[in-house]
Structure 1
Amino acid sequence: MTSRESGRIKDVQQRRVLDEAVRRRRVRKALEALEQDNFHDDPHANLVMSKKAPRFDESLDGSKNKDRKRRTRNSEHFKQRFRKNFPILLEEEQAICPEGPNYLTVQAPPSKRPERHLCAVCGFLAPYTCIACGSRYCSIKCLNTHQDTRCLKWTA
């Protein structure tokens, strides 16, 4: 008789187990990468359409519709054209109220209640922890999704 063993046990033995310091470093690097991605301005903000590009309101023979009314610009046009990014909004808030509480100076005291552990996949309460990376999960389905797509995908 051959002994049957669980595929999950083999899988756990192949995975790398990280200590708490490496886990914190991976999380910090992931957050820094996200902050770096979010910091840049919109690369398409200053694009200008070419005059040679065909317009959709032109007919195929090249004649323009002469009944066309002059377009008026609505408020959305100005919102898009004079849009401010997050660092500019922070500078303006700091200039308006430098000594009062603002985005950079506001703080809350630590919570008196224990930390809630949420599932890294679906966001529900998560009683279980991944052995390899320390992420939280709530069910076997979320564990499988985590192992397929997220576990140890960040480079240290």
Structure 2
Amino acid sequence: MVNLAPVRPGQPLTDFQTRRIQRRLEDLERTNPTDIPPASFKPPDPAPNTPAALALAAAKKKQTPNVRRALYGKKSLRDWLEELPATPTPPYVTAAAPEPATPPRRLCASCGYIGAVRCFRCGEWSCGKTCAEVHERDGGCGIGA
């Protein structure tokens, strides 16, 4: 056991004494590093009616319902698996995109530029007279060739 008290009470330790004590403590740690688990070194509880003790008590009271809810609501893997449906539906069946925030773009069916004229037969957009003629001639709306 290392004696940390000075030789004469009321006097501080000398440099020699502090170095010797430090060396002894390091030797003890080197020889027995795992004898005492670090979890056993708890800080002492604060004295009652001190600000630290009151804050600790208030924190414990606030956490009690939350801890209780977490402990009682805890589920095991088996519980989670039992909640799953027997025949799961594939995600592509129930998947749906949200409504778009912007209206659909009006792009020319022939060249991809901004469409200004709509085909009265099929409803596809054309940017001008030339692309509208190409659309009709090449069978864009199902007539033509």
TM-score range, shorter chain: 0.3 to 0.5
TM-score of the pair, normalised by structure 2: 0.32
Q: Which has the higher helix share?
A: 2
Instruction: Calculate the TM-score normalised by the size of structure 1.
Output: 0.30
Radius of gyration: which is bigger? 2
Q: Which has the higher contact order (CA 8 A, sep 6+)?
A: 1
